[in-house]
Structure 1
Amino acid sequence: MQKNEITELESGAEAHTQREILSQPELWQEVYHLIKKQNAEISNFLTPVLQKENLRILLTGAGTSGYIGDAAQGTLQKLWRRPVQAVPTTEIVIQPDSIFLRAVPTLLISFARSGNSPESVEAARLANHCCDEIYHFIITCNGEGALANMHAAASENVFCLVLPERTNDKSLAMTSSFTCMLLSVLLVARVDSIEEEFPKIQRIVEQGNAILDKQILLENLAMTCFERVVFLGSGENLGIAKECHLKLLELTDGKQVVMSDSFLAFRHGPRAFVNASTLVVYLFSRNPHIMRYERDLAEDISRDARSIYSLQVGGGDGLVLSNSSNIAWSIDTENQYQMIPVTLVGQLLGYYSAVHSGINPDSPSSSGSISRVVQGVNIYTE
């Protein structure tokens, strides 16, 4: 497909995906100001809850929304000094008794773009049923959704944070909704010092724009038509790697063979996935200790006789690998938001892979097997 054809697609009436990807750095600032404006209400709700003895915190959502919990879990646990666990709604719905502990006070933080998926609503209902003391903090992009409506008629145990309407992606694949909900929960954890967070937000806006400036590189990689793609991340970036994996899978309608894993786990069998036509995407950690393990694997793969191609994201300029491209920036070990712009790499690779495969990124599922709001899920209450 020639460049003019891409331009024609991007200017079409249904060209939401590209617009939603490009809007993110601006939206991150908008989300920051929204939470800053509501900081008193958020703090008034959360402070007494977080002071409860033996409090347990669960992060939940389905698919992309579930990966928000995977990415945020470690940071929230460090900041709140309480047990924090990411559990998908898809697990809560089928085995609530294995997730909830009746006598333990629980804060359920739910992430939902539309708030209308059956699992999102049922997970909240089950939490009320299975816990003697339950608190809900809902982060959603849709103030009219079923999950948000819990807040309208709710008691004092529910707080609903509705993000700006532009975060409610119209395309099938979640892009700005993912990064904005992830940013929101990280900001909520710092709500009592929200003014101090703005320089960090400015920094990730710069990093996001730096990745957007690399679109030609990412488009060229998509045009190379690798047989397989691997996203590797550690800690918080493992959740980002999972989301990048899903974006590439969704936007290519399953035609791209793709996987994700942590750097260390990849050595234990999954490395067999790599062949001579594989792109390995390294999502390097901001933690220098973790990156020592990551560099070891990256250097090992670069010595592979098959000349495996790689893309380095983050990690500064100090690592030189053969047969590799680099999107680098200065490591900021104290900026817990730095994982957020990394997500744009998977989104753009997915977008350009779809375009060059003749797939409409806004509605990539030719069979209709996946949809914007999941369909066909029956909820069984007994």
Structure 2
Amino acid sequence: MTSSQIQVPAQEEGGATILEIGQQPDAWREVGGETDEGLARFLRGITERPGLRVILTGAGSSAFIGQIAAPALRRHLGCRVEPIATTDIVAAPRDHLEPDTPTLMVSFGRSGNSPESLATTALADELVTDIWHLVYTCDRTGELGRAHRDRANSRVVYLPERTNDTGFAMTSSLTSMLLSCLLTLGPAGRGNVEALAQAAEHVATLQPDIRALAQSGPQRIVYLGSGALAGLAQESALKLLELTAGVVVTYFDSPLGFRHGPKSVLDGCTLVVVYVSNDPYTRRYDLDIVAELRAQLSPDAVRVLSCEPIPQELGTATVLPGLAHLDDAQAALPYLVFAQYLALFTALEHGKTPDNPFPSGEVSRVVQGVTIHPISPSDLEAR
């Protein structure tokens, strides 16, 4: 059945967005089944260079891919790996680009049509002496892919067509680009893809429970995660903010950072989602905040996601089976599916149209209205 033949549910039933969330396990299997020896050779020649710096970049949700992936890639590649949003690079290129440092710029873009995406790679070409580009995108007609696919110092990875989400929010596009990056640059083995897909299918069976969580009426939702899961928490908060059109207040932080003032956001109408790390040391801090918040709020006001059971005295957790041996960047994939369903069902509870939460166009699917200013020699002079 082609995409044009798929019956899209009505907006009040989730629209195209609920289909795009649900297709992720099969999309990941497709991503995991693809290999590119030419790309592998290209990357080996770069990642073996002494002093290499890797920049993971994108805007919005695409930027959070880099935040999730960076710790795992840093450990695997043994070099500097830094997630830096395109919006930060474009606004202040001299703060982020190092002219004399060999740099692999890894760009993520669902469509590749965001103005900052093209501007960031152009700035890197202009300001960095030794620069290579690796582009992950879901749109074969997108500008970023077209700009780089025939260049000797660039490679473009096109994700399966189905991942080019038609809904407003990035769902399968985000997770598929993340998975592809972890497979080509990081520690993720293709043998783990099936376990990740099955965990996401398990999350899909929890839809009635997640919908009930949304129907409980939280007015504020806080997401907490450490390390790679901090990027997951930020993406979770953005997904909820986007799909509810800002009706529900969202916040994200690390479990340790949350105590330093941001904890003030808590009230009797707050739901807290804690993503528990697979790292045994980090996990202790995650469980500490679970105990603290469940004592302060109530057990039902703190939802815990973990890849293995938590101590009985801390209460219940949503456990995703078969993932306890994976690093947090990989575990983040099915965690993201939970966050997407929660955002979708919360939006429906507030009468929002998930495929287009901003029918008047205040916020667009591909950002509009950005002026890219040319950079001149005087702009590069030392301040």
**TM-score above 0.5, yes or no:** yes
d(CA) in 2 for partners of 1:320, 1:269: 29
* Residue of structure 1 aligned with 2:321, choices 306, 325, 329: 329
d(CA) in 1 for partners of 2:186, 2:352: 41
The alpha-carbon deviation at position 260 of structure 1 amounts to 0.6
* Residue of structure 2 aligned with 1:180, choices 170, 173, 176: 176
* Residue of structure 1 aligned with 2:145, choices 148, 157, 165: 148
d(CA) in 2 for partners of 1:256, 1:190: 35
Pairing 1:192-341 to 2, within 5 Å after superposition: 197-304=189-296, 309-320=301-312, 326-335=318-327, 336-341=329-334
Asked whether 1:68 is paired with 2:61, we answer no
d(CA) in 2 for partners of 1:258, 1:144: 34
Question: Equivalent residue for 2:113?
Answer: 116
Identity among equivalent pairs (%)? 34
Q: TM-score, normalised by structure 2?
A: 0.91
Q: Return 301-310 or 345-354, whichever deviates more.
A: 301-310
d(CA) in 2 for partners of 1:321, 1:281: 18
Q: Which runs of 5+ in 2 are unaligned?
A: 1-7, 376-383
Question: Equivalent residue for 2:358?
Answer: 365
The alpha-carbon deviation at position 281 of structure 1 amounts to 0.4
**SS where residue 296 of structure 2 aligns?**
coil
Question: Equivalent residue for 1:31?
Answer: 31
* Partner amino acid, structure 2, of 1:159: R
After superposition, the Cα gap between the structure-2 partners of 1:240 and 1:305, relative to the gap in structure 1 and judged at 3 Å, is: closer
* Partner amino acid, structure 2, of 1:9: A
d(CA) in 2 for partners of 1:225, 1:325: 20
After superposition, the Cα gap between the structure-2 partners of 1:99 and 1:277, relative to the gap in structure 1 and judged at 3 Å, is: same
1:106-139 per-residue CA deviation (whole Å, 9 max, x = no partner) reads: 1000000000000000000000001011000001
d(CA) in 2 for partners of 1:199, 1:176: 20
Q: TM-score, normalised by structure 1?
A: 0.92
* Residue of structure 2 aligned with 1:344, choices 337, 351, 356: 337
* Partner amino acid, structure 2, of 1:47: R
**SS where residue 370 of structure 2 aligns?**
coil
The alpha-carbon deviation at position 300 of structure 1 amounts to 1.1
The alpha-carbon deviation at position 41 of structure 1 amounts to 1.0
d(CA) in 2 for partners of 1:190, 1:276: 41
Q: Which runs of 5+ in 1 are unaligned?
A: 1-6
**SS where residue 377 of structure 1 aligns?**
coil
The alpha-carbon deviation at position 329 of structure 1 amounts to 3.0
Question: Equivalent residue for 1:9?
Answer: 10
1:83-127 per-residue CA deviation (whole Å, 9 max, x = no partner) reads: 000000000101111111111111000000000000000000000
CA RMSD, Structure 1 to Structure 2 (Å): 2.0
1:330-372 per-residue CA deviation (whole Å, 9 max, x = no partner) reads: 5523455221110011100111111121111000014411111
Number of residue-to-residue matches in the alignment: 367
**SS where residue 16 of structure 1 aligns?**
helix
